[in-house]
Structure 1
């Protein structure tokens, strides 16, 4: 919970609170929404089927994605071994943080106009690369605000943060973090190759304790 953050000086908001699907992935038309409804169907150049496309997206999430996630969650084969990248050299997004950019003097003086609701706002400009200009409100007054997406800051493998890679720990035989691991090339270096080979030998060895044991 709370991995999508919006910050404005000392103010902050964090989502999801309880339901990541309803609060984040199926949230349509918000300036921070993860899915832009106009980008779902690139074939529809004139954007005539946006509503139908969004309805299809909702069905996929509700009928396929959520049941799949719930059926898979927390289930590991007991005779499993895993490694993951845990390296500050491969920064990863464990949190997605939008931060309002304000002048240094105003920031230190805490005299700038604060946003009433960080999660609301009309997009005036979106670069598509982590910069947005919004029309928000401060009290009864309109407020122009600029937000930037903070760079990846968590240790990981460049794709999966270490906190997620470590999720199986305590539920399987062994789960260890490795330095110098990038996501795509995780098995290209000798330490990880040796770990995988060792893990396979342990898995095969324990087969004799199961119904798969070979009997001469």
Structure 2
């Protein structure tokens, strides 16, 4: 029987910073048990969602540097490559769910401006955005269902989407970033945080513990924002659509655009709407991101599962079973000093 400790962290601060804080707490815990006469050399980490990124940072030599004291890690519903849902929330607010009875969006951010004011100034929140490794083409612009273009094109969402200025489909509405007019907040500060997020993603890209186990949703019935699709309506055919400006924003996924056509004419009243969620996953993390764990070849076992939603994953019997299996397998690798 092993003692169990729950350790929270500030998800708004950088995951690298959280890793350093948790490393100190875990080291203190180990010393406490040793001081009480117990054998305590290593810990097993069980994570949920972003906690998986923190755990990977925890064993990184330049962050938590705790690899020697970690026996293994169980990753639950980890957004291994980030999640486009973060983009969606910064432009449209948190999702209300299929029954529209979930009160969480009212508190977490009911509209794009509310979420951007928080996540746009949060190192950890920005680290949830899709990394370069997520790949190209996950942000689409369509007109009456026909694909006009998709981004990123060159594997760099930071420059092509997140830090992009003057384009209505970019991540940041600059006027939403600093509602309090704080001298230390605003576009420049957020771009600096995005560059930090890029570096964090690069630093942990190949950081996995040798005893890693993972479980995550691969449910085709739980659409998970694998792609973000903006749909333009109307009959106007114009190649200058990318340069239109926003004249009205519902902050929940409906825009009105105006601008100058490729031939120099004026156009207004162009309606744009964010399309519905699509792609298998757990309603938040798409399989395209989660499967990085499987494709890495670095995990002892992967459980691709169905039947649960991201936030409540540990309420699933399948998740509990796979977690228990993983813990037992990790514990079996311990070389106890008393073993003869």
What's the TM-score, normalizing by structure 1?
0.84
Mapped contact 1:83–1:176 kept (Cα < 8 A): yes
Post-superposition offset of 1:11: 4.4
Larger radius of gyration: 1
Describe the shift of the 1:69–1:142 C-alpha distance in structure 2 as closer, same or farther (beyond 3 A): same
Following the alignment from structure 1 to structure 2, what is the Cα–Cα distance between the partners of residues 185 and 11?
35
Q: Which position in structure 1 is the counterpart of 2:142? A: 7
Q: Which has the higher contact order (CA 8 A, sep 6+)?
A: 1
Mapped contact 1:93–1:159 kept (Cα < 8 A): yes
Post-superposition offset of 1:4: 0.8
Q: Which position in structure 1 is the counterpart of 2:289? A: 164
Following the alignment from structure 2 to structure 1, what is the Cα–Cα distance between the partners of residues 330 and 170?
43
Following the alignment from structure 2 to structure 1, what is the Cα–Cα distance between the partners of residues 157 and 137?
9
Alignment equivalent of 2:266, drawn from 142, 162, 182: 142
Alignment equivalent of 2:177, drawn from 19, 33, 40: 40
Segment of structure 1 superposing worse, 126-135 or 84-93 = 84-93
Any residues of structure 2 matched to 1:91-130 within 5 Å, and which? 91-102=223-234, 112-130=235-253
Following the alignment from structure 1 to structure 2, what is the Cα–Cα distance between the partners of residues 214 and 39?
60
Alignment equivalent of 2:157, drawn from 20, 44, 49: 20
Post-superposition offset of 1:7: 0.9
Pair 1:58-2:186 in alignment? no
Following the alignment from structure 1 to structure 2, what is the Cα–Cα distance between the partners of residues 213 and 193?
30
Describe the shift of the 1:118–1:11 C-alpha distance in structure 2 as closer, same or farther (beyond 3 A): farther
- Deviation string 1:35-59 (CA, Å, 9 cap, x unpaired) is 2111112212xxx969x61111112
Mapped contact 2:139–2:228 kept (Cα < 8 A): yes
RMSD over aligned CA atoms reads 2.1
Q: Which position in structure 2 is the counterpart of 1:78? A: 210
- Unmatched tracts of structure 2, length 5 or more: 1-135
Would you tell me which structure has more strand in proportion to its own residues? 1
Following the alignment from structure 2 to structure 1, what is the Cα–Cα distance between the partners of residues 265 and 186?
36
Alignment equivalent of 1:29, drawn from 160, 166, 183: 166
Following the alignment from structure 2 to structure 1, what is the Cα–Cα distance between the partners of residues 337 and 304?
31
- The size of the alignment, in residue pairs, is 199
Following the alignment from structure 1 to structure 2, what is the Cα–Cα distance between the partners of residues 5 and 190?
36
Any residues of structure 2 matched to 1:169-208 within 5 Å, and which? 169=294, 170-208=297-335
Alignment equivalent of 1:133, drawn from 256, 260, 281: 256
- Unmatched tracts of structure 1, length 5 or more: 103-111
- Deviation string 1:125-155 (CA, Å, 9 cap, x unpaired) is 1111111111142533223321110010111
Q: Which position in structure 2 is the counterpart of 1:105? A: none
Describe the shift of the 1:213–1:205 C-alpha distance in structure 2 as closer, same or farther (beyond 3 A): farther
